[in-house]
Amino acid sequence: MSDTRFVPGPPAVLVLEDGARFTGRAYGAVGRTLGEVVFATGMTGYQETLTDPSYAGQIVIQTAPHIGNTGVNTEDRESARIWVAGYVVRDPSRVVSNFRAEGSLDDELARDGVVGISGIDTRAITRHIRSGGAMKAGIFSGEDAALPAAEQLDLVRRGVDMRGRNLSGDVSTGEPYRIPASGERIGTVAVLDLGVKKSTLTYLSERGFDVEVLPQSASADQVKALNPDALFFSNGPGDPAASDAHVELLRESLRAGVPYFGICFGNQLLGRALGFPTYKLPFGHRGINQPVLDKTTGRVEITSQNHGFAVDLPVEGVHDSPEGFGRAEVSHYSLNDNVVEGLRCLDIPAFSVQYHPESAAGPHDANHLFDRFRDLVIARRDETTSTGDQN
């Protein structure tokens, strides 16, 4: 148990684009931050949530009231830093109490310069957003808390909209790197890092892939130079409609018959590559208790999710790809609201899910999808060996 004690910071205010104001105390860094306000319903796993790069540009409201109890540790980080644009909590733990803790969340937020606010009725704001939709917001603390309310609101309204936003360059690795297979080696997977989480790379390596991680700016030639047995696009922040270069990169690889698996942003980009549009959800899905039906097995999985956009397709039926990639179907959908949660191509070796089979945080119901990917790659390899197809 650490003796790090949380002392509530100076007054702070959360201002929403529609004019709503909620007062509290500074938590983490003191100052000003702007972003899109969204809520996450996970009862555990705040550290994994905060270090998920998909949250870049977003002010996250945690509906679980008590946050920070177990502090922070190196092992539970999903990336090198906290990525949320701001953090809104009800009741930060006064003490850190866990044998794995290396420090407090309050200090970690401050270290990464993340402005937060505590003492907020997070459930009330969640209900507000549930009816009003995700919107722009700002947290103002310290000197910024004293700015006139009209000025604060003006700053919030002039903030950047998540629609049309490409944030991949902010979160992706600058340089390629490699993680060797830790299981029995089956081949090489090229991973386009659009904001990848550590757990995803671990799962891929454990399934026998040498994992070649590429920056989001990678060219088709860079991918080809690796002669990969498979391609993977990660989760990531931003609007999939603003990622044309990634869509083109994916199309080129799909045309060459390279097996593909995508998670979250990688699902939206598969949808776009096939020629289907994406759209913005009213308030998104963020939490670790989201029920999804896997149509291919008839099983329900309780999944970890974090998305504000989705692929626009009817969940029933088979859909012809307007881009000439054959037939595709919705393989998974949300049992809460029928939103598309997975795609499966019937004529090319490609599939993807909108949710997070790597969990972290969340239940492990969907981990088997990494096996599905490995099996797809092995099947494709056996097929090309027997037909002499060198694609």
Ligand X SMILES: NC(=O)CC[C@H](N)C(=O)O
Residues that constitute the known binding site for L-glutamine: 54, 236, 238, 265, 268, 306, 308-309
Alpha-carbon distance of 175 to 193, in angstroms, equals 10
Options 264, 307, 341, 345, the catalytic residue: 264
Six-digit token string for 99: 């044998």
Is residue 151 part of the annotated active site? The answer reads no
Cβ contact 349:389 at 8 Å: no
- Are 270 and 352 in contact by the 8 Å Cβ rule? The answer is yes
Judged by CB under 6 A, which of 236, 259, 271, 357 binds ligand X?
A: 236
Minimum CB distance to ligand X, residue 279 (Å): 10
| Integer Cα distance of 350 and 252 in angstroms | 13
- Nearer residue to ligand X within complex by CB, 182 or 279: 279
User: Is residue 138 a contact point for ligand X (CB under 6 A)?
Assistant: no
| Residue count (the chain) | 391
| Pairing state between β 278-294 and 260-263 | unpaired
- Nearest-approach distance from CB 118 to ligand X, in angstroms: 25
Please report whether residue 307 would count as binding ligand X according to CB under 6 A.
Answer: yes
Amino acid identity, residue 272?
A: R
DSSP 373: H
Cα 291 to Cα 250: distance, rounded to the nearest angstrom: 29
Rule CB under 6 A: choose which of 264, 339, 343, 353 binds ligand X.
Answer: 264
- Phi, psi (rounded to 5 degrees) for 222: -65, -40
Cβ nearer to ligand X, comparing 14 with 162: 162
Q: Closer CB to ligand X, residue 118 or residue 267?
A: 267
Write out the binding residues for ligand X, residues 11-70 only, by CB under 6 A. 54
Among 47, 70, 235, 352, binds ligand X (CB under 6 A): 235
Query: Pick from 70, 152, 205, 306: which binds ligand X (CB under 6 A)?
Result: 306
Look at strands 135-141 and 32-40 and give their pairing. antiparallel
Element (H, E) at 254: helix 244-255
Choosing from 246, 285, 307, 356, the catalytic residue is 356
CB of 234 within 8 A of CB of 201?
no
Closest distance of CB 234 from ligand X, Å: 7
Nearer to ligand X, 53 or 68 (CB): 53
To 10 degrees, what angle do helices 265-274 and 244-255 make?
A: 70
The answer to whether residue 119 forms part of the interface with ligand X (CB under 6 A) is no
> Active-site residue 17, yes or no?
no
Query: Among 42, 45, 119, 237, which residue sits at the site for ligand X (rule: CB under 6 A)?
Result: 237
Amino acid at 179: I
267 DSSP β-pair partners: none
Tell me phi and psi for residue 334, to 5 degrees: -75, 130
Per CB under 6 A, the list member of 265, 276, 370, 373 interacting with ligand X is 265
Helix (H) or strand (E) holding 268: helix 265-274
Indicate the annotated binding residues.
54, 236, 238, 265, 268, 306, 308-309
Using alpha carbons, list the distances in angstroms from residue 38 to 85, 90, 105, 315, 340. Answer: 11, 15, 20, 25, 20
With contacts defined by CB under 6 A, name the span among 22-30, 305-313, 333-341, 343-351 that binds ligand X. Answer: 305-313
Shortest distance (Å) from residue 306 CB to ligand X: 4
Q: Using alpha carbons only, give the angle 364, 369, 373 rounded to the nearest 5 degrees.
A: 150
- Beta carbon nearer to ligand X, 27 or 265: 265
Task: Rank residues 29 and 135 by Cβ distance to ligand X and give the closer one.
Answer: 135
Select from 17-25, 113-121, 223-231, 303-311 the region that touches ligand X (CB under 6 A).
Answer: 303-311
Size of the site for ligand X (CB under 6 A): 11
One of 260, 309, 370, 373 touching ligand X (CB under 6 A): 309
- Cβ closer to ligand X: 160 or 256? 160
Say whether 264 is catalytic. yes
CA dihedral over 62, 134, 269, 303, signed as positive or negative: positive
Contact positions vs ligand X (CB under 6 A): 54, 235-238, 264-265, 306-309
Q: What is the set of active-site residues?
A: 264, 356, 358
